């Protein structure tokens, strides 16, 4: 405080602004804002200093409460996302294992029944054979639908093989649905044991949402999906050669899809950058730090 004051008086400046923290008699701390200006004579020498101290204690306390509330909200949201992914995994597993097995058993029973019925009514009741065949086709469609719903809820490849194979699967699924070639550049050096499940799930869902946006809005003929290590974290990049998103669209707070992506990335202390060039395409980069780095950043920012 004294050094700042002397610097303001002895230097060429006319004003000073600084903040201090005092320890009060009761052991608490008071925060103050120190503002003032220096009056100088014709030779530039300081002849008077006028200033005031403004009590910032309540403001600082309110700021600390806001930061703490945000951290509690972030932790709650992370737990909620984790619980949601676990529930998706459970439902997908039950659909695939339980319901899928029931349908497979029904298909086998129908096949056996069809053979028995065919021996006795092949000539007298052909409509019955046709009905059994129709039922078998319906069961096949139901099995396919169950597998499709289970995969959309939580693809087992994400848990069994990891993020990189899951993103490769996602790219192939996108090509099949959208009919748009999707080039992949996925780092094969990423070990599944190095990625915690929450971050893997977040990056997978971000890629899923971005590819869906391309299919719905971009009018693209080519897409690129990339994942690599960068700056102590993981960088997911999705680019297309479509119509390109305008700045007014991705800065619009009512654009719920993009806001959801930003919030998902922010939960892990990451960043989301959108570069749109109307008529030429869009590139979205989502960067998420590894857990230890984010913990260090949070600790440093709190000091």
Average pLDDT over residues 4-22: 70
Confidence bin at 194 (pLDDT 50/70/90): low
CB 117 within 8 A of CB 132: yes
Residue 289 CA to residue 209 CA, distance in Å, equals: 20
Average pLDDT over residues 270-275: 92
Residue 215 CA to residue 222 CA, distance in Å, equals: 11
Q: How far is CA 257 from the centre of its chain?
A: 11
- Three-class SS string for the chain? CHHHHHHHHHCCCCEEEEEEEEECCCCCEEEEEEEEEEEECCCCCEEEEEEEEEECHHHHHHHHHHHHHHHHHHHHHHHHHHHHHHHHHHHHHHHHHHHHHHHHHHHHHHHHHHHHHHHHHCCCCHHHHHHHHHHHHHHHHHHHHHHHHHHHHCCHHHHHCCHHHHHHHHHHHHHHHHCCCEEEEECCCCCHHHCCHHHHHHHHHHHHHHHHHHHHHHCCCCEEEEEEEECCEEEEEEEECCCCCCHHHHCCCCCHHHHHHHHHHHCCCCEEEEEEECCCEEEEEEEEECHHHHHHHHHHHHC
Confidence bin at 294 (pLDDT 50/70/90): very low
**In the prediction, which pLDDT does 172 show?**
94
**Is pLDDT at 299 greater than 60 in this prediction?**
no
The more confident residue out of 160 and 301 is 160
Residue 132's contacts (CB-CB under 8 Å, 6 or more residues apart) are: 110, 113, 114, 117
Confidence bin at 297 (pLDDT 50/70/90): very low
The mean-pLDDT minimum among 138-152, 186-200, 211-225, 288-302 falls in 288-302
**Is pLDDT at 302 greater than 60 in this prediction?**
no
CB 31 within 8 A of CB 14: no
Residue 21's contacts (CB-CB under 8 Å, 6 or more residues apart) are: 29, 30, 31, 32
Taken in order 119, 125, 128, 130, the sign of the CA dihedral is positive
* Residue percentage of the chain with pLDDT more than 70: 79
Q: Mean pLDDT across the chain, nearest whole number? A: 79
The more confident residue out of 256 and 219 is 219
Residue 39, beta-bridge partner list:
48
Confidence bin at 300 (pLDDT 50/70/90): very low
**Is pLDDT at 80 greater than 80 in this prediction?**
no
**In the prediction, which pLDDT does 272 show?**
93
Residue 111's contacts (CB-CB under 8 Å, 6 or more residues apart) are: 136
**In the prediction, which pLDDT does 183 show?**
96
**In the prediction, which pLDDT does 156 show?**
78
The more confident residue out of 94 and 55 is 55
The more confident residue out of 289 and 124 is 289
C-alpha dist (Å) from residue 192 to 170, 187, 213, 221, 265 = 17, 12, 27, 32, 20
Q: How far is CA 139 from the centre of its chain?
A: 37
The mean-pLDDT minimum among 104-113, 163-172, 292-301 falls in 292-301
């Amino acid at each position: 405080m004294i050094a700042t004051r002397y610097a303001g008086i002895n230097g060429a400046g006319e004003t000073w602004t600084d903040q201090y923290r005092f320890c009060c008699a009761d052991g608490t701390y008071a925060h103050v804002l120190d503002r003032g200006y220096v009056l100088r004579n014709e030779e530039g020498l300081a002849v008077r200093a006028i200033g005031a101290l403004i009590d910032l204690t309540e403001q600082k306390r309110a700021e600390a409460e806001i930061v703490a509330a945000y951290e509690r909200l972030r932790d709650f949201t992370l737990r909620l996302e984790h619980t949601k992914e676990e529930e998706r995994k459970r439902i997908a597993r039950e659909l695939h294992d339980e319901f899928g097995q029931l349908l497979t058993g029904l298909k086998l029973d129908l096949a056996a029944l069809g053979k028995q019925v065919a021996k006795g009514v092949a000539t007298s009741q052909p409509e019955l054979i046709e009905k059994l065949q129709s039922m078998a086709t319906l069961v096949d469609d139901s099995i396919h639908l169950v597998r499709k719903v289970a995969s959309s809820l939580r693809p087992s490849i994400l848990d069994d093989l990891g993020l990189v194979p899951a993103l490769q699967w996602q790219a192939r699924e996108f090509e099949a649905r959208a009919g748009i070639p999707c080039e992949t550049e996925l780092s094969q050096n990423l070990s599944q044991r190095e990625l915690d499940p929450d971050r893997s799930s977040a990056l997978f869902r971000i890629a899923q949402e971005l590819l869906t946006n391309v299919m719905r809005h971009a009018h693209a003929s080519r897409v690129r999906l990339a994942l690599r290590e960068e700056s102590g974290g993981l960088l997911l990049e999705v680019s297309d050669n479509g119509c390109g998103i305008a700045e007014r669209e991705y800065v619009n707070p009512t654009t719920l899809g993009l806001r959801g992506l930003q919030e998902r990335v922010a939960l892990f202390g990451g960043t989301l950058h959108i570069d749109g060039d109307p008529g030429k395409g869009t590139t979205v980069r989502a960067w998420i730090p590894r857990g230890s780095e984010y913990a260090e950043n949070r600790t440093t920012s709190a000091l």
